[in-house]
Structure 1
Amino acid sequence: MATQLKNLSDFSATEIPDAAAYTFGIVVAEWNAEITNALYEGAYQSLVKNGALPENIFSYSVPGSFELTSGAELLLKNKPNLDAVICLGCVIQGETRHFDFICDAVANGVSNVAIKYSKPVIFGVLTTDNQQQAIDRAGGKHGNKGDEAAVTAIKMADLARTLQA
Structure 2
Amino acid sequence: MSGKGAPELTVKNCADLRVAVIAAQWHEKVMDGLVDGALRALADLGIDEPTLLRVPGAFELPVVAKVLAGRGYDAVVALGVVVRGGTPHFEYVCQGVTQGLTQVAVDTGVPVGFGVLTVDDEQQALDRAGLDGSTEDKGHEAVTAAVSTAATLRSVSEPWR
Q: Is TM (by shorter chain) over 0.5? A: yes
Paired amino acid for 2:43: V
Task: Tell me which amino acid in the other structure corresponds to 1:136.
Answer: D
CA 1:113–1:67: 2 relative to 1, 3 Å: same
Structure 1 runs, 4 residues or longer, greater than 3 Å off: none
Q: Give the TM-score normalised by the residue count of structure 2.
A: 0.90
Instruction: Work out whether 1:161 is the aligned partner of 2:160.
Output: no
Sequence identity (%): 37
Asked if residue 19 in structure 1 is aligned to residue 10 in structure 2, the reply is: no
Matched residues, number:
156
Show the 5 A alignment for 1:61-76.
Answer: 61-76=54-69
Structure 2 partner of 1:107:
98
| Aligned partner of residue 155 in structure 1, secondary structure | helix
**1:15 to partner: Cα distance:** 2.1
When normalised by structure 1's length, the TM-score is 0.88
Query: Which runs of 5 or more structure 2 residues have no equivalent in the other structure?
Result: none
Cα RMSD after superposing both structures: 1.7
SS of 2:2 mapped into structure 1: coil
Match of 2:2 in 1: 2
Structure 1 residues 97 and 108: alpha-carbon distance in aligned structure 2, compared to 1, 3 A threshold: same
Partners of 1:7 and 1:142 within 8 A in 2: no
Unaligned runs of 5+ in 1: none
1:114-149 CA distances to partner (integer Å, 9 max, x unpaired)? 122111012110001000000000014322100100
State the AA in 2 paired with 1:115.
V
1:2-151 aligned within 5 A:
2=2, 6=4, 13-53=8-48, 55=49, 57-77=50-70, 79-80=71-72, 82-139=73-130, 140-151=133-144
Cα separation, 2, equivalents of 1:45 and 1:154: 13
